[in-house]
């Protein structure tokens, strides 16, 4: 396999989705894995584009069939990375990005020891909350759950290979692009 595998983790609202989009536009041959999830689609999310939306039964069947490179329960929903497409893109020589939580990140490190684990941190918890509210996609209850979960994620960042604080978007993009291209 000639491509490189990168895990991108960080608390919800830190800016992972925004940064990943910018990396795809900036760095040639960069491909983002489409995760499976049992959470409901948000307004504007399309099955097969943003996520593969599955029922819990479908997700559990895929686990039993060994179809996930990693999976985890995040914010009370299942999320997982389908194995087939990431192998295909690594074989094609692409940079493969997995935007997944830290539990998933550590599973990937076990299976793919060459994977680089990148962590996106918010400048502060206050800014994280502002970004989650400003995004306007989650209920107050969902936001509270995500902020509680953020503390555990930030704790795990010490075992990641690279930590990038997403304060200035341009600077954070530059740092990540440098890692992908190195
Ligand atoms: P995540 O994918 O980590 O949950 P998003 O990429 O959805 O986070 O970003 C959360 C919100 O913060 C979005 O509204 C996004 O536009 C905004 N955002 C991301 N990065 C920055 C930044 N560096 N400065 C200000 N706002 C940002
Ligand atoms: P959201 O519901 O906001 O799209 O994602 C919530 C969290 O689930 C994020 O922290 C994201 O990184 C994580 N996540 C998304 N896809 C996967 C996946 O395939 N595996 C794991 N372990 N986490 C994922």
Which segments within 50-148 are labelled E, that is strand? 52-53, 68-74, 77-82, 95-99, 116-121
Residue 75: is its pLDDT beyond 90?
A: no
Residue 96: is its pLDDT beyond 70?
A: yes
pLDDT of residue 151: 92
Pull the structure tokens for residue 115. 């994977």
Pull the structure tokens for residue 66. 């060994």
User: Ligand 1 in contact with 104 (CB < 6 A)?
Assistant: no
- Residue whose Cα lies nearest atom 14 of ligand 1: it is 135
Residue 14: is its pLDDT beyond 70?
A: yes
Answer yes or no: are the C-beta atoms of 51 and 35 closer than 8 Å.
Answer: yes
**Which ligand is nearest the CA of 8, by number?**
2
Ligand 2 geometric centre to CA of 47 (Å): 15
Core vs surface per residue 86-123: b (16+ CB within 10 A) or e: beebbeeebbbbbbbbbbbbbbbbeebeebbbbbbbbe
Ligand 1 geometric centre to CA of 70 (Å): 25
Neighbours of 1 (CB within 10 A): 15
Number of domains in the chain: 1
Confidence of residue 74 (pLDDT cuts 50, 70, 90): confident
- The binding-site residues of ligand 2, defined as CB within 6 angstroms of any ligand atom, are 12, 35, 39, 70, 72, 74-75, 79-81, 99-101, 103-104
DSSP letter, residue 42: P
Q: What is the CATH number of the domain that holds 165?
A: 3.40.50.300
Percentage with pLDDT > 70 across the chain: 99
pLDDT of residue 137: 86
User: Ligand 1 in contact with 15 (CB < 6 A)?
Assistant: yes
- Domain extent for 107: 5-181
pLDDT of residue 179: 98
Answer yes or no: are the C-beta atoms of 10 and 132 closer than 8 Å.
Answer: no
* CA 122 to centroid of chain Cα atoms: 15
User: Ligand 1 in contact with 105 (CB < 6 A)?
Assistant: no
**What's the whole-number mean pLDDT along residues 54-81?**
96
**What's the whole-number mean pLDDT along residues 122-126?**
97
**What's the whole-number mean pLDDT along residues 9-34?**
97
User: Ligand 1 in contact with 14 (CB < 6 A)?
Assistant: yes
Ligand 2 geometric centre to CA of 74 (Å): 7
Quote the mean pLDDT of the chain.
Answer: 96
The number of the ligand 2 atom at minimal distance from the alpha carbon of 81 is 19
Residue 165: is its pLDDT beyond 70?
A: yes
Sign, CA dihedral 95-98-99-103, equals negative
DSSP letter, residue 114: T
Pull the structure tokens for residue 34. 């489409």
Residue 1: is its pLDDT beyond 90?
A: no
**What's the whole-number mean pLDDT along residues 32-41?**
97
Alpha-carbon gap, residue 77 to 12, rounded angstroms: 14
**Three-state SS at 88:** helix
pLDDT of residue 76: 86
């Amino acid at each position: 396999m000639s491509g490189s595998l990168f895990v991108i983790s960080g608390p919800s609202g830190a800016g992972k989705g925004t940064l990943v989009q910018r990396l795809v536009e900036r760095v040639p041959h960069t491909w983002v894995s489409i995760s499976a999830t049992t959470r409901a689609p948000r307004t504007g999310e399309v099955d097969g584009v943003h996520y593969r939306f599955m029922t819990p039964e479908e997700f559990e069947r895929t686990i039993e069939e060994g179809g996930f490179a990693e999976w985890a329960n995040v914010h009370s929903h299942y999320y997982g990375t389908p194995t087939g497409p990431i192998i295909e893109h690594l074989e094609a020589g692409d940079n493969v990005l997995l935007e997944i939580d830290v539990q998933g990140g550590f599973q990937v490190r076990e299976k793919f020891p060459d994977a680089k684990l990148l962590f996106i941190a918010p400048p502060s918890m206050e800014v994280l909350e502002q970004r989650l509210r400003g995004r306007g996609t989650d209920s107050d209850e969902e936001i509270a759950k995500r902020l509680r979960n953020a503390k555990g994620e930030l704790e795990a960042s010490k075992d990641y290979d690279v930590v990038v604080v997403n304060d200035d978007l341009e600077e954070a993009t530059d740092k990540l692009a440098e890692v992908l291209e190195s």
